Amino acid sequence: MKRWLFFLALLALAGWWLTRPVGFAPGDVSERTAGHVPDLANGERLFNAGGCASCHGRIEDGKPQRDIMAGGLEMTSPVGTFRAPNISPHPDQGIGGWTALEFLDAMQRGVSPQGRHYYPAFPYASYARMEATDLLDLKAYLDGLPASDHVVGGHELSFPYSLRRGIGLWKRLYLDADPVIEVASGDAVLERGRYLVEGPGHCGECHTPRNFAQAMDPGRWLGGAPNPEGEGRVPNITPGRASFGDWSADDIAYYLESGVDPDFDVVGGSMVAVQENMARLDAADREAIAAYLKALPPVE
C-alpha cells in the first residue's frame, strides 16, 4: 500500500509539473525587445490584421464596435460559452496595468498575469508566431484607446473543460512558434504573407480542421472546417478547392479589399468583419496574403 501511495504521489507531482503555466523569463523578453521604441502605426496595422475589434469591441445592438475594447462578446462552442475579455487600457478591468512581460506571456504563452492558463479560444497558438516587437507595438496602440470599466463575466464550460490545469499539457503538445508552411527562402512577399496569415491574422483558427484535442491540424492547413458558430462550414482556402483554386492572387487581394469575389458575389457571414479589417491594411499586405494563399500546398 505504501508503494502504491508513493507511486500515485509521483504521478500527481509529474502531472502538476507537466501542466503548470510557463511564461517567459524576464531576460528572454528584454533580449527580444532591447532598444525597441513602439511604433503606433504598426500597432494599428496589427490591430486591424488581427481583427481585435471584431471580438473585443464594445457590444452595441448585439455586435462589437471599433471604438472601445470593452469585451463581452459571447462565443458558443461544443464545450460551452466563452466571453471575450475587456482589453481596453483600464487599469483594473482591462489590460492597462499589464507590463510588457505580462502582455507577451498572455499573447504567446497563454498565461495570465495571475499565473493561470488562458483557454486556446484566445488564439495565442497563432500569436506565438509573432515578433515580440510587433506585440509591443500592438500593446502601445491598445493603450492609446479609450478605457472602459466594463466587467465581463467568466466562461461557462462543461466538465472537464472547466478545469484549466489540463491546458498545460495541451500547450506542451500543440503550442509551437515555428511557421506552419515552408515558403521560398528569401521571398519577402511570401514571408510577409505567411507572417500575416499564420500569426496576427490567425486565419488557421477558423479555416483549419482540428483534431480530437481541438488543436489545429497542420497536415490540413487552411483546408476548411466546421463553422464555430454552429452552421455550415468555413471554406477550404487552399488552391486545391475548385472554386477558390480558380481565383488569381489579384482576385484574392481585391476580395480582401472590396468584399466582392470574381463571380460578383459579396462577402457574408463572419467573414464580413474579417474583410472589413483586411480592407484597412496596406495594399502590399493584402497582396502578400494572396501570394501566400496561392503558394499553399492544396488540401483536397
| Sign of CA pseudo-dihedral 110, 175, 53, 61 | negative
Backbone phi and psi for residue 48, each to the nearest 5 degrees, phi listed first: -75, -45
Determine the 3-state secondary structure of 286 from DSSP. helix
| Predicted local distance difference test score (pLDDT) of residue 243 | 63
Residue tagged 481583427 (cell numbers) = 51
Residue 60 is part of which domain span? Answer: 26-174
Show Cβ contacts of residue 64 under 8 Å, excluding neighbours closer than 6 positions. 53, 54, 55, 56, 57, 58, 73, 84, 273
150, 87 contact by CB (below 8 A): no
84, 72 contact by CB (below 8 A): yes
Whether 159 and 223 map to the same domain: the answer is no
| Predicted local distance difference test score (pLDDT) of residue 18 | 81
Query: Residue 264: which CATH number?
Result: 1.10.760
Tens digits of per-residue pLDDT, 67-108?
899 999 998 887 889 999 999 999 999 999 999 999 999 999
Q: How many domains does the chain have?
A: 2
24 pLDDT higher than 90? yes
The pTM (predicted TM-score) of the whole model is 0.92
Residue 31 lies inside a defined structural domain of this protein: yes
- More confidently predicted of 1 and 246: 246
Residue that is last in its domain, among 123, 143, 174: 174
Tens digits of per-residue pLDDT, 175-216?
999 999 998 888 999 999 999 999 999 999 999 999 988 899
Number of neighbouring beta carbons within 10 Å of residue 135: 23
Residue that is last in its domain, among 174, 206, 234: 174
Whether 166 and 196 map to the same domain: the answer is no
Residue 4 lies inside a defined structural domain of this protein: no
